[in-house]
Structure formats: structure tokens, C-alpha cells
């Protein structure tokens, strides 16, 4: 069971801040874009030749960011567990958006999976499942950002570099890329096959 109710967590932010990065519990649009930049940099230059699945897509902001940067994937699929997020993302992106629990349900196949922040309120066990399921469903790689370190929190989930390496070893990850010098206590990781 999640440490907190994700529906209440996100719907309270949406009600307070609207369809903004803050409405997804980001500190600001700038912090969201910094994370998106790093994910986009880890994806192939010829992204238009690949399918991309955005796990925990929220409002579909990563799709909008790809468009702004003229780096659109051949196909974009968004997945979110919350009906409200799916409806907003579908309206904003006009792409395929699926409502699913990534820890429990079968996932669509895609060349790449990405996740920006959606694991931050999961438990350690759920985070492991989330990463495993996304990595299993991708053909080439899974790129994600998550809170980084050994901090203990009643709300947020932090993962250490050693935990990331353990998961990578268990999954048979061929190449790992890290970036962790952009925002304190945050890390972006690329697991590649």
C-alpha cells in the first residue's frame, strides 16, 4: 500500500494550483524543465524513430516539452493511475493515454519508457516494482528521475545509488547513466538494454 493516498495528494494540489507544474507537486516550472532536459538528453537524437511511454504522465507535460524542443517521438503513450490526470493529458496531448497502476497491470510495449517524479511517493517495494515493470516493457531503455539519498520521510521516497545499482544488477541492465548534480536530492537514471 502506498505511504499516502496518491489520489488525495495530487487532487489537492490540482485544486490549489490548477494545471501547472505546482499542481503536480513540482516546486516550479523551472525545476520540472530541468528534469525534462536531462531525460531528453538521455534519449536518442533521432527520437522520431522510436515509441515513447511516459509512466506517470500527469498532465502530459513531457509531451508538450518534446514539442517545444522539436524532439517528438514516433508515438507517445501516457500512463497514469488517476482518472483526472488521464483526462487532462488526453485533452492536452491528443495522444493515447492509459489509466493503469504501473506496479500491478500489464504495460504496453515501447522502445523507451520515461518517468519524471511519479515514484516520489511510492514505497521502496512499489518503486522496485515500478522500475522493473517499466524496464521489462521497454525495448531499449527506461529513463527516470527520483528523489536521491538516504533521507527518511513519511511522505516522500528517496533512493540511494547503491539501491539503484542493486536494481540494475537484478534486471540485467547493460548500461547505466546517472545525472545528479542539477537539483539537490534528485537523480536522473538511464537503464539501457
**pLDDT single digits (tens) 166-187:** 999 999 999 999 999 888 889 9
pLDDT, residue 4, reads 67
SS3 content of the chain, % helix, strand, coil (to 5): 40, 25, 35
169 is a domain residue: yes
The whole-chain average pLDDT of the chain stands at 90
pLDDT, residue 1, reads 44
Name the stretches of the chain with pLDDT < 70.
Answer: 1-4, 10, 13-14, 21, 23, 25-27, 153-155
CATH number for the domain spanning 36: value is 3.40.50.150
Number of structural domains the chain divides into: 1
60 is a domain residue: yes
12 is a domain residue: yes
According to DSSP, residue 190 is labeled: E
Domain region containing 165: 6-192
1 is a domain residue: no
Assign 187 to helix, strand or coil: strand
Q: DSSP assignment of 69-138, as one string?
A: TT---SEEEEEES-HHHHHHHHHHH-SEEEE--TTTS----EEEEEEESTTTTS-HHHHHHHHHHHHHHE
Amino acid at each position: 500500500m502506498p505511504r499516502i493516498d496518491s489520489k488525495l495528494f495530487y487532487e489537492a494540489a490540482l485544486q490549489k494550483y490548477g494545471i501547472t507544474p505546482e499542481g503536480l507537486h513540482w516546486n516550479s516550472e523551472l525545476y520540472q524543465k530541468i528534469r525534462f532536459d536531462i531525460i531528453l538528453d538521455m534519449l536518442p537524437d533521432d527520437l522520431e524513430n522510436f515509441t515513447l511511454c511516459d509512466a506517470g504522465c500527469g498532465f502530459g507535460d513531457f509531451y508538450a516539452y518534446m514539442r517545444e524542443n522539436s524532439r517528438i517521438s514516433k508515438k507517445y503513450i501516457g500512463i497514469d493511475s488517476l482518472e483526472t490526470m488521464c483526462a487532462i493529458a488526453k485533452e492536452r496531448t491528443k495522444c493515447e493515454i492509459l489509466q493503469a497502476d504501473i506496479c500491478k497491470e500489464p504495460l504496453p510495449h515501447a522502445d523507451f519508457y520515461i518517468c519524471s517524479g511519479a515514484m516520489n511517493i511510492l514505497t521502496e517495494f512499489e518503486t522496485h516494482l515500478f522500475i522493473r515493470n517499466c524496464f521489462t516493457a521497454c525495448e531499449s531503455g527506461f529513463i527516470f528521475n527520483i528523489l536521491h539519498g538516504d533521507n527518511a520521510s513519511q511522505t516522500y521516497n528517496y533512493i540511494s545509488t547503491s539501491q539503484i545499482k542493486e536494481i540494475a544488477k537484478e534486471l540485467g541492465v547493460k548500461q547505466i547513466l546517472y545525472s545528479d548534480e542539477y537539483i539537490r536530492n534528485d537523480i536522473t537514471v538511464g537503464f539501457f538494454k
